Structure 1
């Protein structure tokens, strides 16, 4: 499973390429299917039956390579493997992915300056606000009318989102399609596990007595005990209590940002200097009472006790993913991270990563991404054959396309049951973790290697499959829920007297679920953009120094110096912009709650 520096900000899922959102006693990872109802079947040419194709106006005889500029991707190059074969066979299309996560942020500046970002672009909301007036993305309003699947979401999802960009889109045209949209409601949270919360290996936690955790100090103590009792994996790999990584960092340390949410404060997308709670209180990152400082102190304390992975300053996310797959990390904090190790078979033996609540936490959790999650799909204004690109996007949102992305392919990852629903196969339960070899007829290679490298969706897996009447998310199939009644899950349920982690936090008044707001917050002026960039670099670098400071005195000195230095870099100007944006979010949350 893979995630990049910004996909962590995608409220749900975030999910991953072939993204998987995982529950407490999770199954294997996933990615879509070719099983469709008769009305969705491909034509004799092997292409999809979107409305545009049905008119006979699209010629698939010539190979088409689509250049995809993709902020969500962790991979750069040609999409190969089983997913690449599907796209080639159906559309005669090859995806060539350009990934800023791999090539660097300068890629965006270089390509926009040249006037051609790509044929298909997946960018952040703030970038879309720049691309519309620059004429670098197409107006999709008319094209969407001819689609079979996307057209059903135009009025409910696409129009309201694009209308929010009124300063650069006064006519309310549709230039972009938000990512990871759930078709539930603006205030619903569907998942069994909050996006970020304390998660640990159940067997190791029980092995040290499963002590109640009242605060972060208790967490450090139990991590120390587990480290001493379980220093290595069965095959001799070192186990680390906490592992950190730099390559997702934005306005500060991304790892710090998400642990701040355990204590009720988020850093809203589109900002880099503030944190916001469910009540609407706004606190600057560098405030002495900020949750950002509290979590920096936690990581510093952990390092002082020898609990932080020494690889942290130099490793990237891919290295962390390897460690998660090998069960080499004791503390996880993203829901989807459990999918790197948890399987049904392991769960039967009581083995897997589960939620372990800390009594003094009060989590802030965004609802399902009904409005989208901070990124968009758009078609570049100089795109080669935009009709074929739109046909491809429409297929991505067909039952067939969504199944391929979220569940893999029928006969390998899952099979149909007698009641017309789906069930993961034994191979499908572990195909991601094991990178299981794929039969040549499906494209060959490893399953994980061949997953969609787009690493994002338009509609999410929290949309109901019309054929099964269940979410596309494999974890919420009735068959998976039944299979997940393992020793791991039932033992956890008995210990915490709750059905799942979300249920526990709600029963104990330890979570605030807020509407997931996805909108245009405005783009920075060139002056603010420069100031924000300098401040972000300074805060990131100083934060890492603080975590690895030699003692508390150095930690405090670095913090005090940062508070003073960022003011000279224009801190007050950037905070003013971010505060205004946060206030817009507060108002929109109130409006969404009032109209639910």
Structure 2
């Protein structure tokens, strides 16, 4: 799962250890499979056709240009069969994260990005005036489910693009929107915080961690005591990967959050804290440098995975599934290994707070998180695409995407709510085989490769009154009262990690701002690209520098060289973007 940036470069996302940004508590990963009766799907298709006068008789292949996807090609497996049976559609996914950023330039130059687009906010601002996005104002208003979110979600977002959308028409629907409030944080653990295997941490005495030096020392002890998995695979304390890098080294970016600084989406040169302070990345006191130093020191101690410079995210995901990594920092990474069954034995990845951290955490993505769903201006059969998107935010569509299918992944309880089945608890980690009549193949392999949603799993299912996120089902909470969770709660005297950080004043929750921060001029865009590439490449060299002297030399050279690439101009542009965020956060807080 991968959610790239707040918008999601790690889609979120992005999504994700379930491939879509699914946070998996101290329990099993969110599933997505299907066990729907084929005849039910066929009757649904027929009634939809009759009720909406939409003809499903002809197969429709939808070309999806998807910034969030980690997969390129046809959607197959159980989700592919579901869409084929229900709508007679096939998704053909184009993924810049697989094919490279040039794909966007090539297709926009040709005047046709695709039928269905999942793109970044900044790209939307370019695509509207270029005439490559369809105005869906009337289409959205005529839907059954999407129409419910027009006034409170879609309109506020689209009207913010007033420079390119002066009439406030609806061109796009933000991704991963919550239906809570603009200042609520619902999750039990911050998006980025220190996470480690509880049994291994306890196995070396569970020493209190006061700072990053203590963290490195405990990782060293854990590596010495637990060098391999039971089946002989090497365990690494820290593993890194390059393919998510954007305006800097992404693995550095998110650890900066531990100490109160975030790098706003669309920026390359600055970090921002909850008070509104703006610090350039190349400032000697920047959190970016502090985290680079942390990784460098870790590598000097033999704690960084030697595969880091060459592996991609998919390889990292394998290692997480096998419990080969000791330090995690995304909340959803727990889902690759954690399960209720393992929790009963005190086995699983949990938050391990470091005393000197002070986390910055965005609230629920009420207005979305930096990407959008849109229709290309030349989209084939837009009414059928809208029907599919409307279904995606329906209770049925959300259940499939977030939790798989009833009877396989989850089942109803006596009180009408849902609970995970035994299969559902581990279907993602085990890539459980799916019955042939539902598409066959492995469960994880067949999940939705869109890796993105319009409404997130922090929307309540009208039939149960509970979030679609199964970690917050009452049945899951009850089942999750395992040795792992109770031991953690007793140790930290808190219900969950978010509660611990709040109680100890170790976290700032800031309003989640999702808007257009302005598009770059061609001059700034070129300078940003050169600076980004230079900073990323130099950052990796610094992590693997042969000694402290080389680390310092690389840092000093980077500080000088980026100025010649137009650093000051890009800092000015990024500062303006950050100041807009600061103002909007203040406004959101004032309106609570």
TM-score range, shorter chain: over 0.9
What do residues 245-304 of structure 1 show as CA deviations (whole Å, max 9, x unaligned)? 000000110000000000000000111110000000000000000000000000000000
Alignment match, 1:47: 45
Aligned residue pairs: how many?
A: 590
Query: What CA distance in whole angstroms lies between the structure 2 residues aligned with 1:377 and 1:12?
Result: 14
1:497/1:17 CA distance change after superposition, 3 Å: closer
Using the alignment, how far apart are the partners of 1:130 and 1:262 within structure 2?
A: 33
| 1:224-254 CA distance string (max 9 Å, x none) | 0000000000011000000000000001100
Q: Aligned-pair distance for 1:314?
A: 0.4
Contact 2:360 2:508 in 1 (8 A): yes
Aligned CA distance change for structure 1 residues 545 and 559 (closer, same or farther; 3 Å): same
Q: 1:464 aligns with which of 442, 460, 465?
A: 460
- The alpha-carbon deviation at position 440 of structure 1 amounts to 1.0
Question: 1:6-42 CA distances to partner (integer Å, 9 max, x unpaired)?
Answer: 7345658734665353344222332276789xxxx96
Distance 1:34 1:200, change over 3 A: same
Aligned residue for 1:65? Answer: 61
**Residues 82 and 24 (structure 1), Cα distance of their counterparts in 2 relative to 1, 3 Å cut:** closer
Determine the structure 1 residue equivalent to 2:421: 425
What do residues 328-360 of structure 1 show as CA deviations (whole Å, max 9, x unaligned)? Answer: 000000000000000000000000000000000
> Per the alignment, do residues 10 and 506 of structure 1 end up closer, same or farther by CA in structure 2, a change over 3 Å counting?
farther
CA change 1:212–1:463 in 2 (3 A) is same
Verify the 8 A CA contact 2:2 2:21 in the aligned structure 1. no
Name the structure 1 match of 2:189. Answer: 193
Which segments of 5 or more consecutive residues in structure 2 lack a partner in the other structure? none
- Residue 95 of structure 1 and its aligned partner are, at CA, apart by 0.2
2:577 pairs with 1:591: no
Correspondence 1:101-120 to 2 at 5 A = 101-120=97-116
Question: What is aligned with 1:151?
Answer: 147
Query: Which of 384, 408, 422 is 1:412 aligned to?
Result: 408
Map 1:210-221 → 2, pairs under 5 A: 210-221=206-217
TM superposition score normalised by structure 1: 0.97
Superposition TM-score, scaled by structure 2 size: 0.97
In the alignment, the residues of structure 1 paired with residue 474 and residue 36 of structure 2 have an alpha-carbon distance, to the nearest angstrom, of: 18
* In structure 1, C-alpha distance between the alignment counterparts of 2:298 and 2:17, rounded to whole Å: 28
In 2, distance between residues paired with 1:417 and 1:13?
A: 31
| SS state at 2:329 partner | coil
Determine whether 1:486 maps to 2:487: no
Q: Structure 2 matches for 1:526-565, cutoff 5 A? A: 526-565=522-561
* Long gaps (5+) in structure 1: none
1:475 is matched with: 471
Cα shift readout 1:436-465 (whole Å, capped 9, x = no counterpart): 000012111000000000000000000000
Instruction: Describe the superposition over 1:348-376 as per-residue Cα deviations: whole angstroms up to 9, x where unpaired.
Output: 00000000000000000000000100000
Distance 1:20 1:543, change over 3 A: closer
Please give the alpha-carbon distance, in whole angstroms, between the structure 1 residues aligned to 2:252 and 2:8.
15
Question: Given the alignment of the two structures, is residue 386 of structure 1 paired with residue 387 of structure 2, yes or no?
Answer: no
| Alignment CA distance shift 1:517-1:272 (3 Å) | same
Q: CA–CA distance in 1 between the matches of 2:47 and 2:473?
A: 27
- Which residue is equivalent to 1:347? 343
Give CA-to-partner distance per residue, 1:180-234, whole Å, 9 cap, x none. Answer: 0000001100000100000000000000000000000000000000000000000
Deviation (angstroms), 1:2: 4.7
The answer on 1:175 being equivalent to 2:166 is no
The 8 Å contact of residues 247 and 536 in structure 2, kept in 1 or not, is answered as yes
Identify the residue that residue 398 of structure 2 maps to in structure 1.
402
Aligned to 2:437: 441
Provide the residue aligned with 1:77 in structure 2: 73
Retained in 2: the 8 A contact 1:7–1:16?
no
Which stretch has the larger CA shift, 153-162 or 20-29? Answer: 20-29
Partners of 1:530 and 1:100 in 2: CA distance: 19
Question: Is residue 302 of structure 2 the alignment partner of residue 301 of structure 1?
Answer: no
1:455 partnered with 2:451: yes
Give the Cα–Cα distance (whole angstroms) in 1 for the partners of residues 120 and 448 of structure 2.
Answer: 19
Number of the residue aligned with 1:19: 20
- What aligned pairs does 1:494-509 form with structure 2 within 5 A after superposition? 494-509=490-505
Give the Cα separation in 2 of the matches to 1:336 and 1:230.
23
Partner of residue 166, structure 1:
162
Instruction: Please give the per-residue CA displacement for 1:148-187, whole angstroms capped at 9, x wherever unaligned.
Output: 0000000000000000000000000000000000000011
Q: What is the aligned-residue RMSD (CA, Å)?
A: 1.7
Question: How far apart are the structure 2 equivalents of 1:144 and 1:351?
Answer: 46
